[in-house]
Amino acid sequence: MSIKQPTSKPAEKLSITLPREMAQMVRDKVGTGTYSSNSEVIREALRLFQTQESVRVQQLVELRDKIDHSINTGGASLPANDVFSSLRDRHRKRTRNT
């Protein structure tokens, strides 16, 4: 028995193909009772994907705003010491994990 969301919209049936591991993950979520159907798992995954994409778009907008501000004011948006410190930290983390 599938539980419908209170604001259900007209649904369209799709057929998808997933790698074996992903298909098993979907079945596991339904099997544990976390979700009531395979479709529910996929809908939740797509909602999370939409959220992630929205955050990414917002981050790009903010970055472009900083770049535009720097170009228009002729100054850096971040102090050089902060940039180099951040680069050193990233380099340390990457070389530590290899």
Give me the domain span that covers residue 58: 20-96
Whole-number Å distance between alpha carbons of 50 and 40: 15
Does the CA dihedral 58-59-61-65 come out positive or negative? positive
Within a domain: residue 11? no
- pTM value is 0.61
Task: Determine the residue type at 87.
Answer: L
Within a domain: residue 63? yes
pLDDT of 40 strictly over 80: yes
Number of domains in the chain: 1
Averaged pLDDT of the chain: 88
38 Cβ neighbours under 8 A, 6+ residues apart: 26, 27, 30
Tell me how far the alpha carbon of residue 85 is from its chain's centroid: 27
Within a domain: residue 9? no
Within a domain: residue 15? no
pLDDT recorded at residue 1: 47
For 42-76, what is each residue's pLDDT tens digit? 999 999 999 999 999 999 999 999 888 888 887 76
Within a domain: residue 25? yes
